[in-house]
Structure 1
Amino acid sequence: MRDKSLHRPDTRAAAGDVRTPHPSAETERAAGIGRSTPRPDGALKVTGQFAYSSDLWVSGMVWATTLRSPHASARIRSIDARKALALDGVHAVLTHEDVPGAKTYGMKVADQPVLAIDEVRYQGEPVALIAADDPETARRAAKLVQVDYELLEPVTDPERALDGTARDVHPGGNLVRHVKIRHGDLAAARERADVVVTGEYEVGMQDQAFLGPESGLALPAEDGGVELYVSSQWLHKDLEQIAPCLGLPADKVRLTLAGVGGAFGGREDLSVHVHACMLAMRLGRPVKMVYNREESFFGHVHRHPAKMHYEHGATRDGKLLYVKAKLVMDGGAYTSTSPVVIANACYFVTGAYEVPHAEIDGFAVFSNNPPCGAMRGFGAVQSAYGCESNMDKLARELGMDPLELRLRNAMTTGTVLPTGQAVDGPAPVAELLADLRNRPLPPAGADLLPGGLSNTTRGEGVRRGVGYAVGVKAIGYSGGVDDISTARVELSVTAGRPSVSVHTAAAECGQGITTVQSQIAATELGVSRVVVLPADTRIGDAGSASASRLTWMSSGAVQGACRELARELRRRAADRTGRPAESLALLDDHVVDPGGSPLVSISDIVGDDVLERVFEYHHRKTETIDPETGQGDAHIAFAFAAHRAVVDVDVELGLVKVVELATAQDVGKAMNPLSVEGQIEGGSAQGLGLALMEEIVLDEQGRVRNPSFTDYLIPTILDVPPMPISVFEFPHPDSPYGLNGVGEPPTLSSTPAIVNALRDATGLALGRVPVRPDDIALAAQPS
């Protein structure tokens, strides 16, 4: 049963609600923002007709595969490809010696080899490329390439990598970044604290587990360049890394977004990109690369595993005084986005609460484990789990209801963060928590018992628990990074009707950005026929589909271009009608008067012209934090979500059933309510996976033990419970239409809410996620 609610609070009653003007009801009705406009890819995906990047085909193409290291740490003595090259149907075997340009790349630091040069630093590192007539021949040839390895002892313990007792994995040492935040007077706050609780918390390595493995098609161009059709999250950042490795100027490398089968951060880094292009340039033929599921586990970054120590101090009546925390995150073999992930984790160590004093140290380290980087929530997931777990521990120590403790310390507009920045947008934490508190609990016995249809348990040892959590996440690029998005909007007349085309490089990863862009164009220009062109690098940068920023930034760009066109249309209409331009509006393919009556058709105004505007949208500047104190206005905006989890637990068998996972989230403006709900449900499901089942398991040698969906478990429809959703709209003062980011916040609070419910049901500490059945069942056994 669907249980959804949309809250547009009265500005006089809603704390922190700073509403901005919205389009008129007429405009919204006609054009679509605020409506659940169907996605053009929706039916195609459901019916299996959507063309993903793995479906691309062109005449004369060859297939490529990657030979990867079976070892986490080894020197390469030699590579012998003669047997592979002798196999019928094999066209090329390339190694690092064949890289035509720069031999390394990276999101932040160019430290990752295109192909291993003299050493491999993690299991699965690419060593050689093979191109053949078909994928099976390519895989057979890869097995014939002989690589002579000298094995080294891998460094797999991030704490050993940090304390100096292990050898250096990385040429610059094992420390990626140390983030320090010092806020207030911790020593004085400690003396005033009536209650102090400490906790040790750990998060396992989670995979993005997107449904479409990495794939791409590279075509050599007549000008000596290359065209790449690829599933990606950030085409321009890909281009920035690819071109130097190919030894080509950027204008000779052209990228087009192919159908993306999910991303969640796992497509920010390069995968097939350089490899496919290298082979296409070498062979002068189209080259297609598609990873299978096992290779996909090795072919992209994962969520950083984390070990965290938390200390909360409070007064006897439950007012927080300070938080002291240390976080250690395993970044794996290469830098990727680890410097930013650890910073993001540290920014939000204290959660969505008023905390006047804080001392935070975050460390990202190198190891011989698989590289880690961006994943939905980007560091804030780990720190939210630690913070929310310790908040429940504090509530128990105080003898206070966990929800009341959260309400008593809830962040509001004006709250000063540990970085010294004041929250200047809506911060409706109390409203979200109150909504969950007022929601009826599901009745006992109304759902399947833990163990499901197999009747594993008959209910003798089943206990119910309820848990709460709230999360806060920065939206957009932070820490002094300029955020930009570019849009080109063109208006012309086709077959007697006005037609709008929108061109950006925004990556449609399944979140619905294509639909939102068309809704905005229809809203601003009053035109019913809108086409969104394929995203590519022929238009300026749109930034990444990450940081819950893409709708904000691309909406700003499309809105800006459309409004410039709209001014031109109103100017032309004013010349024709003699009415003031500012009194005219655009609706239903016409220019209308203040009462909505048509005056002249847009087609007549445009005529044979093609009207075009390009608009670059930037958000306000942010600052890098001070390296010694961590102080600085690092962020543009914040988004909030809260969860209440209800679980049934068989404490004897360790089986868990999430009965309900209710959510309340502020989205600023629900541009497409159905898509908003989908983002909240998807983020909550990924949080459930991290809480109970999802983890890449490594052995002591740094080898992945479960690179398949047989052994890496993700939630199915049988695991995902009813998700009642309350969507709040507290418009943000700085964004287009008042919208805010949606995709990441529910991932923050869903995991700790579930684990807090498990603690409520079992009384166990449960300091590590995912929680395994034996963590519960064995803890209940007599010692």
Structure 2
Amino acid sequence: MSAHDAATAPAGSAAGAAPSSAFSDGPTQADGPEREVPRGIGASVPAADTRSKTEGTFPYAADLWAEGLLWAAVLRSPHAHARILSIDTSAAVDMPGVRAVVTHADIPGATTHGRRVADRPVFAHDVVRHHGEPIAAVAADHPDTARLAAAAITVEYELLDPVTDPEQAFGAPALHPDGNLIRHIPLRYGDPEATGEIVVEGLYRIGRQDPAPIGAEAGLAVPRPDGGVEIYTASTDPHTDRDLAAACFGLDPDRVRVVVTGVPGATADREDAAFQLPLGLLALRTGCPVKLVATREESFLGHTHRHPTLLRYRHHADAEGRLVKVEAQILMDAGAYADDSSESLAAAVAFACGPYVVPHAFVEGWAVRTNNPPSGHVRGEGAMQVCAAYEGQMDKLAAALGIDGAELRLRNVLATGDLLPTGQTVTCPAPVAELLRSVRDYPLPALPKDTPEEDWLLPGGPEGAGEPGAVRRGVGYGVGMVHMLGAEGTDEVSTATVKIVGGSATVICAAVDTGQGFSTLARQIVQETLGVDEVVVAPVDTDQPPAGPAAHGRHTWVSGGAVERAAKMVRTQLLQPMAHKLGMSTELLQIADGRITSYDGAFSTTVAEAMEGKELWATAQCRPHPTEPLDADGQGDAFVGLAFCAIRAVVDVDIELGSVRVVELAVAQDVGRILNPRQLEARIEAGVIQGVGASLTENLRTASGLIRHPDLTGYALPTSLDAPTVRIVKLVEERDVVAPFGAKPASAVPVVTSPAAVASAVRAATGRPVNRLPIRPSAAVAVPNS
């Protein structure tokens, strides 16, 4: 076994226990002479894993190894809807090198799973409901053998007509015992008879965006001597994954341990237990470690995607452009199973009017099952779809009234103290007008009229087929909002422990860093509070108290708040003996730059000296104020807080070819408080580019429920050549007093807002309505004589 094998062998394997630091986020070390490293809240502290990721030594799940390793493969349905008549595994079982084959009949516990609704089978056994649904899994001594064995399993199907149009799902035969309707939310606010002098209508369609992870799903399951199992995977919510796995395996939760490996970025793809459950079943069946590394095709087929959504809108305004009433119908395609469709629909309905004051609102929202690929959590779920639609409506109103688009929006923007259509008062900072004015007033990029024609970067990329004379420039706006933390009564809580020995501190918290920077933030909090430079964030596993899922800015707020409270408790333990000896309170002692100093400067010592021979620790929880579910009229205080963003998009459109180039996106965002400037800017830029993909290129296309191109050739992600210039014009720091540090989530709201801004700019350039995302070339061809 190689040194790399030994370093990455999980505990319980024949290779021996892995070092506990295998997945830790320790302090960044640099070659060469020592240099000043930023520290504490407000500094651009570098991520601890930067060097290992750059050098390729960071231990992702696909890199793990164990002695006696077997390889897994999963047989998936080639059909979107079919009845399973028989499953014959004999050919696979008889193949040399095959150690186990498992199907629905081999599951000792719960045969269905789901994070919110347990409606998804571990293995399909009577009916297949979507393309790529798992039917059986194989463990073999070589990955090729496992794949061949899976292909050798014979399944006899009776093909059924798939339901792929969500509008037809209401009258179609039930696809699931629970029926086709997952949730219906009617929102009624104000007077249904209210009307405006100007009325505009629109029909909008939002496509299926895939999270497209950098690394496809992978995991390793290792059987334990007590009959349990350990699962090593890039989970974003390990305790929920553990509970789902334990129920499936027929084990008590304390006999299943989930260890979080390196997570190469995460949205929906890391929240699907369907990849982990077959692993554990095979490890328990064979008594050997079992590894599964999904192919890119399996990744597209297996995980959830953004909800395709159909939206019908009618906006009423007075002659001055002030909104009077908004009417909307929102239909979300959940695919085959419920997943988080109920929560996504709640966000869509609640934010259907956008960050605008609307006296009267009447919205109907539905989420339905179909035989399309499953939909689930992707950044800004629900909010992104409605933002594209209500901003399209604002552009229509501006055109009908002859008012500038930015000015129309400014006449209607929401502010602190206003009411949402759900009846909830906006109590958090809501500087929407300031954000919009900032991007509106930012200088526009220069036109390329003075650039030699051969140097033009035309729509369609370098060497584009278009002609400069056919290029039109457009400027458009998007204003978006998202909610923070869970909603509708979700019990948000996280637990953290901070230990300090000598001059070194350790943070123990089951909050997974999915790229949002929690590990770096935790180090900053402890550095700031305790004055130590060396802070290590321990590896995450389910032996630690739960911290909840990595979504909606939870870990910045809830887990960061728990770390802060624990660190302050340790600080009190450290300072109390000195304060008592000096005859003063601990508040009169301060910690800064590694030193403890009294208010009058008469006493001073280093933290290391004060800690000599001591070991201090404390555990704390953070739980935000409760929320409530929406009632029968869509009313209720459903959200803990809100975050806002305004984006101005500048695009060049070839009005003959319909190709679009995003020239610049100017961004102003409500961030509460800047905790790490460099990290914050990177997250905003990444969110903006993800939104650009949704607006122009990303659409997981299906035909009769079958994914047409489950690969990165058919699914077009934006590349560095497609990325526009992103100008972060303004970051508004108005601290939310109920949030730890006063910070707000940063990644989701630019994803929500940038597609709407790009579509608005294309409308301005072409005169076309642009009511579909991603924008099709035909929609970007200018109206004749426009």
Q: Deviations over 1:44-64 (max 9, x none)?
A: 223333221111111111110
What residue identity is the alignment partner of 1:767? Answer: N
| Aligned residues of 1:486 and 1:616 also touching (Cα < 8 A) | yes
| Aligned residues of 2:459 and 2:653 also touching (Cα < 8 A) | yes
| Aligned residues of 1:466 and 1:757 also touching (Cα < 8 A) | yes
1:252 aligns with 2:252: no
- CA-CA distance at 1:596 after TM superposition: 6.5
Structure 2: distance between partners of 1:172 and 1:511: 36
- CA-CA distance at 1:267 after TM superposition: 1.6
Match of 1:469 in 2: 478
Match of 1:118 in 2: 126
Q: Deviations over 1:417-439 (max 9, x none)?
A: 01100000100000000100110
| Aligned residues of 1:227 and 1:254 also touching (Cα < 8 A) | yes
- CA-CA distance at 1:575 after TM superposition: 3.0
Picking from 164, 181, 185, the partner of 2:187 is 181
1:656 aligns with 2:665: no
| Aligned residues of 1:652 and 1:780 also touching (Cα < 8 A) | no
Farther off after superposition, 445-454 or 723-732: 445-454
| Aligned residues of 1:214 and 1:271 also touching (Cα < 8 A) | no
Q: TM-score, normalised by structure 2?
A: 0.93
Q: Secondary structure at the match of 2:618?
A: strand
1:618 aligns with 2:623: yes
Q: Secondary structure at the match of 1:395?
A: helix
Match of 2:753 in 1: 749
Structure 2: distance between partners of 1:589 and 1:243: 45
1:761 aligns with 2:770: no
Distance 1:597-1:472 versus aligned 2 partners, 3 A rule: farther
Structure 1: distance between partners of 2:468 and 2:132: 44
Q: Deviations over 1:237-273 (max 9, x none)?
A: 2122111111111111111111111112322221321
What residue identity is the alignment partner of 1:287? Answer: V
Q: Secondary structure at the match of 2:292?
A: strand
Matches within 5 A, 1:565-714: 565-594=570-599, 599-626=604-631, 628-699=632-703, 701-714=704-717
Q: Secondary structure at the match of 1:437?
A: helix
Matches within 5 A, 1:178-327: 178-187=184-193, 189-190=194-195, 193-327=196-330
Q: TM-score, normalised by structure 1?
A: 0.93
- CA-CA distance at 1:139 after TM superposition: 0.8
| Aligned residues of 2:187 and 2:634 also touching (Cα < 8 A) | yes
Q: Secondary structure at the match of 1:316?
A: coil
| Aligned residues of 2:207 and 2:309 also touching (Cα < 8 A) | yes
Structure 2: distance between partners of 1:467 and 1:549: 31
1:500 aligns with 2:508: no
Structure 2: distance between partners of 1:405 and 1:102: 54
Distance 1:146-1:135 versus aligned 2 partners, 3 A rule: same
Identity %: 46
Q: Secondary structure at the match of 1:453?
A: coil
Match of 1:553 in 2: 558
Structure 1: distance between partners of 2:38 and 2:754: 36
- CA-CA distance at 1:600 after TM superposition: 2.9
Q: Deviations over 1:565-586 (max 9, x none)?
A: 1111110221343443220012
Distance 1:596-1:643 versus aligned 2 partners, 3 A rule: farther
- CA-CA distance at 1:402 after TM superposition: 0.5
| Aligned residues of 1:475 and 1:635 also touching (Cα < 8 A) | yes
Match of 1:491 in 2: 500
Picking from 80, 90, 93, the partner of 1:72 is 80
| Aligned residues of 1:265 and 1:546 also touching (Cα < 8 A) | no
Root-mean-square deviation (Å) = 1.6
**Count of matched residue positions in the alignment of Structure 1 and Structure 2:** 743
Gaps of 5+ in 2: 1-35
Structure 2: distance between partners of 1:147 and 1:285: 27
| Aligned residues of 2:39 and 2:45 also touching (Cα < 8 A) | no
Match of 2:522 in 1: 517
| Aligned residues of 1:570 and 1:582 also touching (Cα < 8 A) | no
Q: Deviations over 1:391-424 (max 9, x none)?
A: 1111111111010011111100011001100000
- CA-CA distance at 1:780 after TM superposition: 5.2
Structure 2: distance between partners of 1:377 and 1:567: 39
Structure 2: distance between partners of 1:590 and 1:648: 56
Matches within 5 A, 1:530-545: 530-545=535-550
Structure 1: distance between partners of 2:699 and 2:554: 27
Structure 2: distance between partners of 1:198 and 1:29: 55
1:453 aligns with 2:458: no
Higher relative contact order, structure no. (Cα contacts within 8 Å, ≥ 6 residues apart): 1
What residue identity is the alignment partner of 1:135? Answer: P
1:86 aligns with 2:91: no
Match of 2:6 in 1: none
Structure 1: distance between partners of 2:529 and 2:603: 16
Picking from 731, 738, 743, the partner of 1:734 is 738
Structure 1: distance between partners of 2:55 and 2:769: 45
Structure 1: distance between partners of 2:428 and 2:462: 47
Distance 1:596-1:71 versus aligned 2 partners, 3 A rule: farther
- CA-CA distance at 1:603 after TM superposition: 3.5
- CA-CA distance at 1:761 after TM superposition: 0.4
Structure 1: distance between partners of 2:766 and 2:640: 40
- CA-CA distance at 1:554 after TM superposition: 1.1
| Aligned residues of 2:651 and 2:660 also touching (Cα < 8 A) | yes
Structure 2: distance between partners of 1:102 and 1:596: 64
Matches within 5 A, 1:89-104: 89-104=97-112
Q: Deviations over 1:359-418 (max 9, x none)?
A: 011000000111101000011000111111111111111111010011111100011001
Q: Deviations over 1:55-84 (max 9, x none)?
A: 111111111011000011111111111111
Match of 2:164 in 1: 156
Structure 1: distance between partners of 2:593 and 2:52: 28
Structure 1: distance between partners of 2:180 and 2:274: 24
- CA-CA distance at 1:134 after TM superposition: 1.6
Picking from 351, 354, 359, the partner of 2:357 is 354
- CA-CA distance at 1:179 after TM superposition: 0.8
Structure 2: distance between partners of 1:610 and 1:217: 35
Match of 1:42 in 2: 50
What residue identity is the alignment partner of 2:356? Answer: Y
What residue identity is the alignment partner of 2:116? Answer: K
- CA-CA distance at 1:652 after TM superposition: 0.4
Matches within 5 A, 1:347-496: 347-445=350-448, 448-493=457-502
Structure 1: distance between partners of 2:186 and 2:51: 48
Picking from 340, 344, 347, the partner of 1:341 is 344
Picking from 331, 336, 357, the partner of 2:334 is 331
Q: Secondary structure at the match of 1:524?
A: helix
Structure 1: distance between partners of 2:125 and 2:605: 67
| Aligned residues of 2:767 and 2:783 also touching (Cα < 8 A) | no
| Aligned residues of 1:85 and 1:91 also touching (Cα < 8 A) | yes
- CA-CA distance at 1:236 after TM superposition: 1.4
| Aligned residues of 1:233 and 1:265 also touching (Cα < 8 A) | no
